[in-house]
Amino acid sequence: MKSFTFRLDCAGKTEPVKKHWQFCVGSGHAALAQRVDYVEQLKLVHDELGIERVRFHGILNDDMNVCVRLSDHLPLKTRNKTKIYDFYQVGRVYDNLLSAGVKPFVEIGFMPKALASGKKNVFYYKGNVTLPKNMEAWKDFIRAFARFLIRRYGREEVHTWYFEVWNEPDLACFFKGSMRDYFRLYAETVRALKEVDAQLLVGGPATTRGRHLTAFLDFCQKESVPVDFVSTHQYPTDALGHSINRERLRQISKMDATGDKTSTRALLQPVFDNVNDFNKSLKGYMTREAKRAREAVGDLPLFYTEWSISSNCTAAIHDTPAAAAFFVKTVLDNQGVVDGSSYWTFSDIFEELFFFTDPFCGGFGLLTVDGIKKPTFWACKMLASLPDARYRLPVTDDDVELAAFRGEDGSLYLLLYAQNFEPSGEKYRAHIELQNAGAFRTWNINRVDAQNGNPVALWEAMGKPAALSKAALADLRAKSEPKTESGTIDAGILNKGIDIRLSDNDVVMLVLKP
């Protein structure tokens, strides 16, 4: 058993905590926000986790019917080329978000077919990723979009939203054009928005891996283009060139069609979920990259509008305590580096390649399709309960790390986490020595580990059923909820220090109250 000793001066200096992980959360494409279960889950993450905004693709996609022509709907050639703007579904989507207590983080995309210069698209819902055929027509459409939002929700409300131009234009699958093409699209889009209201908050470039940030800002400065925030995306597997590469496509093409025919996830997961994607060198990678991005951005707000432990849509690790430990380490290490982050995603009610219906599909969400709370949800709930003053302790990237917080009433919150990309079954003893400790009277401890907040393990023990009855679902939810232990503190007992046992990828929170 490896031992670690931590020393904390309870009278030591603290710094304010900005809970950047509550700023936003990601989601599937816009049309999904018209589902009742989607809105229910969104309200849950707002109410229990403090999530403030949601970001998704496709608010201007053709399945939202925002810009149409007669020829798009009639099997006839017509001389009438008039384009009709209709933002009815946009209003329904944003109404649903606001009813759940969550504001939109508006990702502007994709290109309506009626305005597009080409036919290239992405995902099954066919988001058009080409430039506008006519830039003036695009700007007219964007002005109409902005005016609709202001009329429906009022200037004061819309001024609290953020408008991000496009998604990952540095990837060919998301944008047919060069980065210079994207810069032009950004400039014209932003100018159209600011013509309607100069106080609308705009930004980009929403690239992957912190790429092109300096070039983007240089362009904006040179061309006098407004930019109110800078956004980018990051996954630890980006360091390994992680993607659906030719080898994986070859593996997909050779999949045995005689396998499990009840689950698309079961067919694809062995291909997408490669255990060799993770290694110890990736520990702390997200924060190293965030610091590099911060240097490029300077004093502008820096938002990570998409991040997670894996960019694979069926990565089994998403459902496990390993994702929870990664979540905790990443958001705590990035405290003071990023201004806002958006975990990808809040729910497995999500569809890009397919809609995976398995109770646990390795989806990105904090919640499953059935609303079961994953380990990442429970870890995020721990973080939501933290007070706003954090002790200044070093980030070590060691096997076990400690973060400590002080409540206004003198309570002490101790958060231990053993994030490990290559778990070996190691057991750890964490010994915490307190200096200048107050007169604490009670304690409680919460865990996210193999036995607590880990519903996928229970599902696997059930034989991985493809569907859950209502009774089985209720039982799984009840049995997977973390248990809280509590008790009283005898005078002088803390003088001996505190010992806590944990294993790889455990997250433990101990709260001492006066």
Spatial CA neighbour of 297 closest among 415, 376, 218, 364? 218
The alpha carbons of the chain give a radius of gyration, in whole angstroms, of 24
- CB count in 10 Å sphere of residue 500: 20
Residues with active-site annotation = 168, 306
Cβ atoms of 442 and 487 within 8 Å: the answer is yes
**Residue holding tokens 């904090």?**
366
Cβ atoms of 407 and 511 within 8 Å: the answer is no
Strand, helix or coil at 52?
A: coil
Spatial CA neighbour of 55 closest among 27, 91, 85? 27
- From the number of C-beta atoms within 10 Å of its C-beta (0-12, 13-18, 19+), residue 216 rates as buried
Spatial CA neighbour of 265 closest among 314, 319, 320, 318? 314
Alpha helices in 371-454 (DSSP H): 375-384
Which tokens belong to 17?
């905590």
Cβ atoms of 307 and 234 within 8 Å: the answer is yes
How far, CA to CA in Å, does 318 sit from each of 7, 357, 446? 33, 15, 21
- CB count in 10 Å sphere of residue 245: 9
